[in-house]
Structure 1
Amino acid sequence: MSLPALFLLAVALGTDAFSLCLGIGMAGVSPARVLALSATVFSFHVAMPLLGFKAGEIAGLYLGRPAAVGGALILFYLGARMIWEAVRDEEPPDVVLGGWGLFLLGASVSMDALSVGFTMGTLRANLLLAVLLFGAVAGAMTLGGLWLGRLVGCWAGKRSRLLGGAILLGIGAKLFWQVMGGSM
């Protein structure tokens, strides 16, 4: 997987955290909580793809092409789900930013990274580069979402989820096309 594709995937994975943190930022968050939340999201966006990657690598080794097709379809599903939720105008849940609330927030916005890690494992992508890029981009998008939340209205949350969903759909379609023998 090319560096631009990995970067776009990292941005798509970070949009959940970004859109959620826009709302949290509008409510006001202390600088210590901003750093804690950004570090938590960074950590989960590194750990979850690692777990998924190992599972995907094993599946790719034993299942080959069907596993890669399944991984591409997972990305496509995640993108469609993100768009569906944005169109339905679902609001992110209220979050308590301490202890378990912080942990659960980090886990909830990183679940799609587990599936993406699985997909990357089936394709044998560069793991270290991918997870560090995912973590850095998601952490930065969390920080940016919290900071921009004070400056931007609620409209950006829906638009960023739509963009993230469209990116996942596009990458899923591209991977599917490549696995099926096309060239993009």
Structure 2
Amino acid sequence: MNIAEIILIALSLAMDAFAVSVAAGTAGRLHPRAVFRLSFHFGLFQFMMPVLGWYAGSRVAHLVSAVDHWVAFGLLMFVGLRMIRGSLENPSEQIKKDPSRGLTLVVLSVATSIDALAVGFSLAMMNVGIWYPSIMIGVITSAMSLAGIRLGRVFGRRFGPRMEMTGGIILVAIGTRILIADLFF
């Protein structure tokens, strides 16, 4: 897997966190510490989930090596289509209380990073090392979350669903490329 694909995966996975960050930004002026907590935790969870998925995937990779390209394709397709579907649903209620504290922060962090677990599993199926992609995913998610909060203040919730759809389309395209490359090349 090349650097461009890793960056595209990282950008795609960051779209959920970006959309939530935009919503948080529209909720009102967040204190700088709240902005830091959101962007840090979204990045941290996006870093950890692929590692956990990769660890689980590496334990069973030898059992499914003959169909690993199908597994990677299926997982990326599932995650991508789920993101596309989510972008077409009615926008959720605007975040009304401080989303950077307590259980709300944990729930949002897990919810925006659960897709990264499946991507980590897919990376294990493809025999891709996990540390570099996970670090890239975490850093890019943190940066996009920070940008999302700031953009949320300016543009509101107008572009959040479009960003999530773009991320889903990118994941579907990468999954399709993996399948085609393994079947035909």
TM range (shorter): over 0.9
1:93 to 1:112, Cα distance in 2 relative to 1, 3 A: farther
Q: Alpha-carbon deviations, 1:22-65, whole Å to 9, x = none? A: 01101121110110111111111111000100111222222203
Q: Which residue of 2 aligns with 1:107?
A: 110
1:47 to 1:93, Cα distance in 2 relative to 1, 3 A: farther
How far, CA to CA, are the matches of 1:20 and 1:76 in structure 2?
22
What's the C-alpha RMSD, in Å, of the aligned pairs?
Answer: 1.5
1:164 counterpart letter in structure 2: G
CA contact (8 A) 2:81 2:168 kept: yes
Q: Which residue of 1 aligns with 2:172?
A: 169
Matched, 1:155 2:146: no
Q: Which residue of 2 aligns with 1:138?
A: 141
Large movers: runs of 4+ above 2 Å = 88-97
Q: Which residue of 2 aligns with 1:26?
A: 26
CA contact (8 A) 1:59 1:67 kept: no
Q: TM-score, normalised by structure 1?
A: 0.93
Runs of 5+ unmatched residues, structure 2: none
1:37 to 1:56, Cα distance in 2 relative to 1, 3 A: same
Give, in angstroms, the shift of residue 6 of structure 1. Answer: 0.4
1:93 to 1:26, Cα distance in 2 relative to 1, 3 A: closer
Give, in angstroms, the shift of residue 89 of structure 1. Answer: 2.9
Q: Which residue of 1 aligns with 2:125?
A: 122
Q: How many residues align?
A: 182
How far, CA to CA, are the matches of 1:72 and 1:20 in structure 2?
26
1:8 to 1:92, Cα distance in 2 relative to 1, 3 A: farther
Runs of 5+ unmatched residues, structure 1: none
How far, CA to CA, are the matches of 1:135 and 1:116 in structure 2?
13
How far, CA to CA, are the matches of 2:113 and 2:126 in structure 1?
20
How far, CA to CA, are the matches of 1:106 and 1:164 in structure 2?
17
2:43 counterpart letter in structure 1: F
Q: TM-score, normalised by structure 2?
A: 0.92
2:184 counterpart letter in structure 1: G
